[in-house]
Amino acid sequence: MATPTADADPRRLPRGPHGLTREQVERSQRDRLLTGAAEAVAAKGYAATSVADIIERAGVSRTTFYQLFDDKLDCFLAACRMASDVVLAVLAEELVDIESGGVTAPIDKLDRLLDAYLRTLADFPVLARVFLVEVYAAGTQAIRQRRDSLEQFVDLIAEAHRGRPGFLGGGEDQRFAAEVLVGAVSSMVTNAVGVGEADDLPDLHAPLMRLATRILDAR
């Protein structure tokens, strides 16, 4: 049996019989298109990216693209959801580790979650740019989806502080404090990624934690 050449693109399916089900093939094609969309948009910007750019990077046909997505926006929105899912999955796993490790102080939980968030974005700068910067160039639907993703981050922070005595009285004020904190983090991180400083995101950890301590300890 012939083996792939050294320069073969590992994202492309092998030619001929490959033993994959139709669902597996479609999943592979979809994943490659999402990756291709993220890479193209990160490199060229959303407005300048075309469907041709995406399918060239993904290594699939135009016909396949339109079998899976309605248009460029549809594909980009799915890529944004992928980016959000990656970050949320990392944070959810970190939260499990925090709780299983016996960490109980809310500020210590936040310290761990923020560190995981910043390092994940630094490790995946393409996803960071798509998720934080280019989403605003894609219009109202993309921005609304971005806002919904931020709400999930707010939920994580609020959950880590739920029931904490003195935390802005709890209830709606507690959630508002979490929203303020997430908004501040999002703004600083987005600015850094926007000017090409994703590698420096972990450096924001200390100043953001100082801000978080002031916000979350407010009386």
pLDDT tens digits for range 47-74: 999 999 999 999 999 999 999 999 999 9
Q: What does the chain come to in residues?
A: 219
* Higher pLDDT pick, 23 / 43: 43
Amino acid identity at 155: D
pLDDT score, position 18: 55
The confidence score (pLDDT) of residue 1 equals 36
Let me know: does 38 contact 128? Beta carbons within 8 Å.
Answer: no
Provide the CATH topology of domain 77-216.
Tetracycline Repressor; domain 2 (1.10.357)
SS (H, E, C) 94-153: HHHHHHHCCCCCHHHHHHHHHHHHHHHHHHCHHHHHHHHCHHHHCCHHHHHHHHHHHHHH
**77 pLDDT more than 70:** yes
- Structure tokens that stand for 194 in this block: 């926007």
Q: What are phi and psi of 63, to 5 degrees?
A: -60, -45
Instruction: Give the CA angle between residues 133, 135, 140 to the nearest 5°.
Output: 135
The secondary structure element, H or E, covering residue 89 is: helix 72-100
107 band by pLDDT with thresholds 50, 70 and 90: confident
Cβ burial of 167 (10 Å; 0-12, 13-18, 19+) is buried
Longest dimension (CA), the chain: 71
Residue 6's pLDDT band, with cuts at 50, 70 and 90, is very low
How confident is residue 219, by pLDDT bands cut at 50, 70 and 90? very low
- Per-residue pLDDT reduced to its tens digit, 119-134: 999 999 999 999 899 9
| pLDDT value, residue 211 | 82
- Residues 215 and 57: their CA atoms lie apart, in Å, by 44
Q: Give the 3-state secondary structure of residue 87.
A: helix
Report the top-level CATH class of 22-68.
mainly alpha
* Residue ranges per structural domain of the chain: 22-68, 77-216
Q: Which two tokens stand for residue 20?
A: 């994959």
pLDDT of residue 160: 67
> What sign results for the dihedral spanned by CA atoms 148, 149, 152, 153?
negative
Angstrom distance (rounded) from CA 37 to CA 132: 15
Percent of the chain with pLDDT strictly greater than 90 = 53
Closest CA to 192 of 181, 208, 176: 208
pLDDT at 165 over 70: no
Q: Dihedrals φ, ψ of 16, to 5°?
A: 80, -170
| Residue 174 pLDDT greater than 90, yes or no | no
pLDDT of residue 213: 81
Least confident of 79-88, 97-106, 107-116: 97-106
